[in-house]
Structure 1
Amino acid sequence: MAPARVGIIGGGIAGPVVAALLKLKGYEPAIFERLDTISEGGIGIGVQRNGLAVLHRIPGLAESLGGKALDYFHFYSVLPEDKGVLAELDSPKRSREAAGYGTIGLRRSELQRGLVRGAESTGVEIKWNHHLDSLEQTEDGVLLKFTNGAEETVSFVVGCDGLHSDTRRSLFGEQPADFTGLSQTGGYAPMPESFRGKSMAINVYGDGAHLIAIPIDDESMGWAITEREPEAKETWRAMDAAAAEEFKKNSPVAQWDYGAGEIVRNATTVTKYGLYDRPELQTWHQGRVVLIGDAAHPTSPHLGQGANQSMEDAGMLVDLLEKHSPGGEPPLTSVLDTVFTELEAARIPRTSQLVKRAREQGETRVVHGVQACIDRNNWYRKLLSDETLLRQRFGA
């Protein structure tokens, strides 16, 4: 029997990963991506140990990504009344030494480019400029209709199309995203000279703002400032040159110590976007269609787990398909229901907790007033000094 043709909606992060894993297990996946090429949007991203564990299942992929391995996380306060080092952690270095990989920083566009290249190397077909319009399920397949007029019939569908998922809309109707009350301004910048050779990411806390910056190669860093502001749409478009220069000149963060101000003042790109998540879904599937990644559980970025959780989803989905439908043959709807239900039972509690914790982290990081900032700093001092508590709170 011919292998099952699987429709993967979305070619961002989760899509290429699940497609490559499916191809290696004998399925015939095809990725349908709404854009006509790889997006250059987004900022720096950290692929953590749990995400890398999945990528290492695709021969040669993790090793080909490039980026910069992290050794240290440093945490600082610039509050004049409580200024100084909150913590200096070497957990990424120890993780890499223990497991063979820890955390790497790289541009989001380079991550997507590497994942697409990895999927193509396994033989996955990618169809660009295919924006899902609707889907129609039958007893043994799904008819996909795209806004460009194309139609495709597949055995089953994995929706990986992000926060504004058309697959999710097709299954469950329109569900507006929830603005978290926070926005980010971020981009890329040359690495400060004092950081070179240290493989160090920084978190810097001030009154009403927080900055994170991670190395993405030997000479550059990705950075993001979180602030509490009116809603800003998630467009991921870079500011024009005049607006970027205005921001770099007038942002209070541009005067911060510990390298934060230097990063902002020397930024080469500046992008502003609102931070959103969505209410928890009780189920991620309907019939022969399942959601994973941000289509199922979009999150704010404060734990750095959005992309990594989508990779975990992909790995478990393929494991369950191999368990219940080995060989890549077209599965019965009842088999898919078993697979998808088991996926949800394992993944919904984990991802829901991480979405909640990510939102809590945003609230904790961005506070106003001297006493509130001192209380926040003391909370971080306690948390970051207790490795057991740290793993419980943030562990991947």
Structure 2
Amino acid sequence: MESKTKVIIAGAGIAGPVLAIFLKLKGYEPVVYERTLSVPNAGLSLCLQPNGLRVLSLIPGFVDKLVGKQISKVVHYSLLPEEEAVLAESGLVSKLPETVGFGLFGIRRPKFHRQIIEEAEAHGIRIVWGHQAVGFEQSEDHVKVTFANGNTDTASFVIGCDGLHSNTRISLFGKEPVSFTGLTQTGGVSPAPDARRDYGMRNFYADGAHMILYPVNDSEISWAITQREPETKETWGHMDEEAQRAFKEGPWSQWSFGAGELVRSCDRIVKFGLYDRPELSVWHKGRVVLLGDAAHPTSPHLGQGANQAFEDVYHLVRLLKKHNPSASAPSTELLSTIFTEYESLRMARTSALVKGARKQGEARVVEGVEACKARNNSIREAWRDGDAITAGYMELYSHPFLEKSDI
């Protein structure tokens, strides 16, 4: 019996295990290597959006297992003392399931991460912990991967899913500085004051700050406050006790419309800087290619980071099936054809969304009463046109496939 084509995936974050499942379903033998020793309990939440959920739905039965909360409306509030009011409220997101198949779904990130790891393992995928890929030696028909602990492994080709600080990217294209956006986020997950209430997704706009919140299950709400501050590393570590207490007693603890109550009632507050990276002109060299945050890391203001990684997964696997339907060991020339087509489909879209996310962050966090009032007026105007909002949803969420999947 001919052995299956082995593929090494660097990174068992959000994208790597999902990619591994699809490769396994298509006849490859993926192995996932992850630098951490176990599934980390890091991060707050994810808003899974229709484009990402459409990809996840191709894993039989998986979406039905997810534990989270459907988001049925979006509300915008001004917290300016001079203008404390509801700016806009829309239930158009509740129409998404009937137009694009899925809605917005809030979920705890650690819970989701554990579920995708368990799903990958249930598909027979080997995940090797405590192995950070640091070197890639390519030959005519394979790649030898060296890990920080000195171990090595070999596969037909390698896919780097190792995130913002990707060693795969460094190995291919050299070191480059990550780009701090000038914004930080401080956030947590708090008990929902009223489990019967439909909180939806809420945006709060203050002078020099923006807060977003949404439910992640029937009893908890995830929230994050964005501010313009000096650089803070992307460690995802929680603040020390004193810093958390000071934050809970800060000005945001007095915010109205229920925002302050969530800050005061949070047990564990984390703080992190928001980063992206310069665009690359290609995402591959030879038999090694990048995917997700390793290729196009983004700030979170459009909520598309994980969802774009899933679009990457869909198209890369679709192209492997198209050009290599037997899942046999591909030549470097065939991989070049596949990876180049993948880049041509994904680069423009992800670049536009990375820029759009940074622009959104800049527009939300402004300082000074007049600038804040101008921002508030822009929000009112933008959400007044329901047809434009619907068109924007369709543009974003009709991907990655317009009608029927072809993988």
Q: Same fold (TM over 0.5)?
A: yes
| 1:102 matched to 2:90 | no
In the other structure, the counterpart of 2:316 is: 317
Alignment of 1:188-203 (within 5 A): 188-193=189-194, 196-203=196-203
Letter in 2 for 1:281: L
Structure 1 distance, partners of 2:180, 2:299, is 10
In the other structure, the counterpart of 1:79 is: 80
**Are 1:244 and 1:270, in contact at CA under 8 Å, matched by a contact in 2?**
yes
**Are 1:44 and 1:221, in contact at CA under 8 Å, matched by a contact in 2?**
no
Q: 1:69-88: per-residue Cα shift (whole Å, max 9, x none)?
A: 11111111111222211211
Secondary structure of the 1:181 match is: strand
Structure 2 distance, partners of 1:239, 1:218, is 26
Structure 1 distance, partners of 2:88, 2:325, is 48
Q: 1:301-342: per-residue Cα shift (whole Å, max 9, x none)?
A: 000000100010001100000000012211111111111111
In the other structure, the counterpart of 2:400 is: none
The alpha-carbon deviation at position 118 of structure 1 amounts to 1.5
Structure 2 distance, partners of 1:295, 1:213, is 27
My pick for the range that moved more, 7-16 or 197-206, is 197-206
Alignment of 1:220-231 (within 5 A): 220-231=220-231
In the other structure, the counterpart of 1:359 is: 358
The TM-score normalised by the length of structure 1 is: 0.97
Structure 1 distance, partners of 2:147, 2:86, is 53
Alignment of 1:287-366 (within 5 A): 287-366=286-365
**Are 2:54 and 2:101, in contact at CA under 8 Å, matched by a contact in 1?**
no
**Are 1:35 and 1:128, in contact at CA under 8 Å, matched by a contact in 2?**
yes
1:380/1:258 Cα in 2 relative to 1: closer, same or farther (>3 Å)?
same
Q: Percent identity?
A: 51
Structure 2 distance, partners of 1:199, 1:114, is 25
In the other structure, the counterpart of 1:56 is: 57
Structure 2 distance, partners of 1:249, 1:274, is 21
Letter in 2 for 1:341: T
Structure 2 distance, partners of 1:153, 1:169, is 19
Structure 2 distance, partners of 1:346, 1:253, is 42
The alpha-carbon deviation at position 199 of structure 1 amounts to 5.0
In the other structure, the counterpart of 1:257 is: 256
The alpha-carbon deviation at position 99 of structure 1 amounts to 4.0
Secondary structure of the 2:111 match is: helix
Secondary structure of the 1:269 match is: coil
The alpha-carbon deviation at position 233 of structure 1 amounts to 0.6
**Are 1:275 and 1:300, in contact at CA under 8 Å, matched by a contact in 2?**
yes
The alpha-carbon deviation at position 220 of structure 1 amounts to 0.5
The alpha-carbon deviation at position 96 of structure 1 amounts to 2.1
Structure 2 distance, partners of 1:110, 1:145, is 30
Secondary structure of the 2:231 match is: coil
In the other structure, the counterpart of 2:129 is: 128
Unaligned runs of 5+ in 1: none
**Are 2:4 and 2:29, in contact at CA under 8 Å, matched by a contact in 1?**
yes
The alpha-carbon deviation at position 276 of structure 1 amounts to 0.3
My pick for the range that moved more, 83-92 or 232-241, is 83-92
Letter in 2 for 1:148: N
Structure 2 distance, partners of 1:393, 1:60, is 29
In the other structure, the counterpart of 1:243 is: 243
Detail structure 1 runs of 4+ shifted over 4 Å in the superposition.
391-394
Secondary structure of the 1:198 match is: coil
Structure 2 distance, partners of 1:86, 1:226, is 19
The alpha-carbon deviation at position 240 of structure 1 amounts to 2.1
In the other structure, the counterpart of 1:234 is: 234
The alpha-carbon deviation at position 393 of structure 1 amounts to 5.4
| 1:368 matched to 2:393 | no
**Are 1:19 and 1:30, in contact at CA under 8 Å, matched by a contact in 2?**
yes
The alpha-carbon deviation at position 254 of structure 1 amounts to 1.2
Size of the aligned set, in residue pairs, is 394
The alpha-carbon deviation at position 392 of structure 1 amounts to 5.8
Alignment of 1:370-389 (within 5 A): 370-389=369-388
My pick for the range that moved more, 128-137 or 91-100, is 91-100
Secondary structure of the 1:184 match is: strand
Structure 2 distance, partners of 1:234, 1:175, is 16
The alpha-carbon deviation at position 271 of structure 1 amounts to 0.5
In the other structure, the counterpart of 2:270 is: 271
